Amino acid sequence: MAAKYDLTPRIAPQLDRHLVFPLLEFLQERTLYPDEDMLKAKIELLNHTNMVDFAMDIHKSLYHTEDVPQEMMERRAEVVARLKALEEAAAPLINFLQNSSAVQELRADKQHNLQLLQERYQIGPDQIEALYQYAKFQFECGNYSGAADYLYQYRALCTNSDRSVSALWGKLAAEILMQNWDIALEELNRLKEIIDSKSFSTPLNQVQNRIWLMHWSLFIFFNHDNGRTQIIDLFNQDKYLNAIQTSAPHLLRYLATAFIVNKRRRPQFKDFIKVIQQEQYSCKDPITEFLACIYVNYDFDGAQKKMKECEEVILNDPFLGKRVEEGSFSSVPLRDEFLENARLFISETYCRIHQRVDMGVLAEKLNLNYEEAERWIVNLIRTSKLDAKIDSQSGTVIMEPTQPNVYEQLIDHTKALSGRTYKLVSQLLEHAQTQAAR
């Protein structure tokens, strides 16, 4: 079951190869797949990078040997020689950048800087290009810190906008891999600004850039302190939500999770439920299905079953299942928050659409025993806007009839459906008239 909901095969193609490693490490730790398959996947990935020493170590683990194939040895010699050649080509510029008094002469004006470098230090476009190639090679070798520094310096001198954007993607990947979440978030926002304002060759190209950005952002949003709010701010923007719905519906798992674990109920939540309703047949994910059970179908037995699946999904998702070690104790904070809020969603909605609720039935729906359910509902009445009281003698929760009942909510859904149908018919008529006019 766990591997059935693993999104890595869909997410990996949208990431830089190096960003796939943390996902494979997580899956290997969770033993979702046979260990041999994971080691083979790692070697396959490493064959397309310059991390030859790492590839050799994995080869030794996989085949239980101290020997490595001849082609690996040759590849290592080739990488070392290429690194040396690139270092020599970029050396004049690197030496300049290490001279702090010389660097102080640079200004915000790139043309002035290029002129200064050419006239005073005989550093021209060839050396600037060599710095980019050297930075890129350092990244491929797994030296993310050096790559991030050189890419930053390259962007300060580069006048080619496409190359500058490419360097920014590289810097973002390096900061993610070093887990520098604050800096990574800054680079992510820089990239978003460029993607939203740049003119692309085709609209499809722009959509693809947005999809890449959202996939890369998952590393940041589920590690940064303020990430759960920021993922809603990014993914829920029309242009980004459209890109998700048309090209990457699996990302709805992460947006749905952010909405569920957010302490403050977001005003956009209602609109997001409409998206869940539209996608409920095309996007089969326990977390989005959980929301559909409660807010679209009012299926509380279904929601209860989905909660168990959601827990499994969170534990085995590389972004959601992050473990926190405290001494010998290990926990998955997001799992605990999710279950807490999921129960809140069920009980709040269930109570709102029933005038009298049996505490035993509610306990069952929440996967709690009777005493826990009673404490839960007392807390819910105290902290939420739920207008209700508990009748301890009959063991029921009695609702005040001021809340809109399920029938009113169904009428609202029907109105929305009628509106969509009307819009669709109008479009069809318009299309038919256009065809007739031809």
Q: Which of 204-208, 381-385, 413-417, 426-430 has the highest mean pLDDT?
A: 204-208
Residue 415 has pLDDT above 60, yes or no: no
Within a domain: 428: yes
Whether residue 228 lies inside any domain: the answer is: no
- Phi, psi values for residue 192, rounded to 5°: -60, -45
Is residue 298 in a domain? no
pTM: 0.86
429 is a domain residue: yes
Q: 416 in a domain, yes or no?
A: yes
pLDDT digits (tens, 9 = 90+) for 341-353: 999 899 888 888 8
pLDDT at site 247: 94
Flag whether 133 is in a domain: no
- The arithmetic mean of pLDDT across residues 147-159, rounded, is 93
* Strand, coil or helix: 358: strand
Looking at the chain, the whole-number percentage of residues with pLDDT higher than 70 is 90
CA distance linking residue 371 with residue 55, whole number of Å: 55
pLDDT band at 403 (very low <50, low <70, confident <90, very high): very low
Q: Which pLDDT score, from 0 to 100, does residue 259 have?
A: 96
Residue 427 covered by a domain: yes
pLDDT, position 265: 66
Note the pLDDT of residue 41: 94
pLDDT of residue 124: 87
Q: Which of 15-19, 39-43, 396-400 has the weakest average pLDDT?
A: 396-400
Q: Residue 27 — very low, low, confident or very high, per pLDDT cuts 50/70/90? A: very high
Q: Using alpha carbons only, what angle is made at residue 380 by residues 377 and 385, rounded to the nearest 5 degrees?
A: 135
For residue 98, the one-letter residue type is Q
- Distance (Å, rounded) from C-alpha 40 to C-alpha 18? 16
Give me the number of domains the chain comprises.
1
Instruction: Name which residue leads in pLDDT, 176 or 160.
Output: 176
Q: How confident is the model at residue 122 (pLDDT cuts 50, 70, 90)?
A: confident
How far apart CA 32 and CA 316 sit, in angstroms, is: 8
pLDDT digits (tens, 9 = 90+) for 209-268: 999 999 999 999 999 999 999 999 999 999 999 999 999 999 999 999 999 998 776 788
Span 68-103, pLDDT tens digits: 899 999 999 999 999 999 999 999 898 888 888 778
The average pLDDT across 48-73 equals 91
Separate counts of helices (H) and strands (E) for the chain: 22, 5
Phi, psi of 68, deg, nearest 5: -125, 150
- Model confidence over 188-203: pLDDT tens digits? 999 999 999 988 889 9
Cα first-last separation, the chain: 54
pLDDT band at 411 (very low <50, low <70, confident <90, very high): low
Contact criterion met (CB below 8 Å) for 334 and 320: yes
The pLDDT score that the predictor gives to residue 330 is: 84
- Tokens for 309? 């699946």
Domain coverage including residue 431: 409-437
Mean pLDDT of the chain: 88
Structure confidence at residue 113 (pLDDT): 83
Report the C-alpha gap between 436 and 438 in whole angstroms.
5
Structural tokens at position 435: 């065809």
Averaged pLDDT, 122-130: 90
Predicted confidence band of residue 422 (pLDDT cuts 50, 70, 90) = low
According to DSSP, the β-strands at 324-326 and 329-331 are antiparallel
290, part of any domain: no
The structure tokens listed for 83 are: 């690194």
* In the predicted structure, residue 335 carries a pLDDT above the cut 90: yes
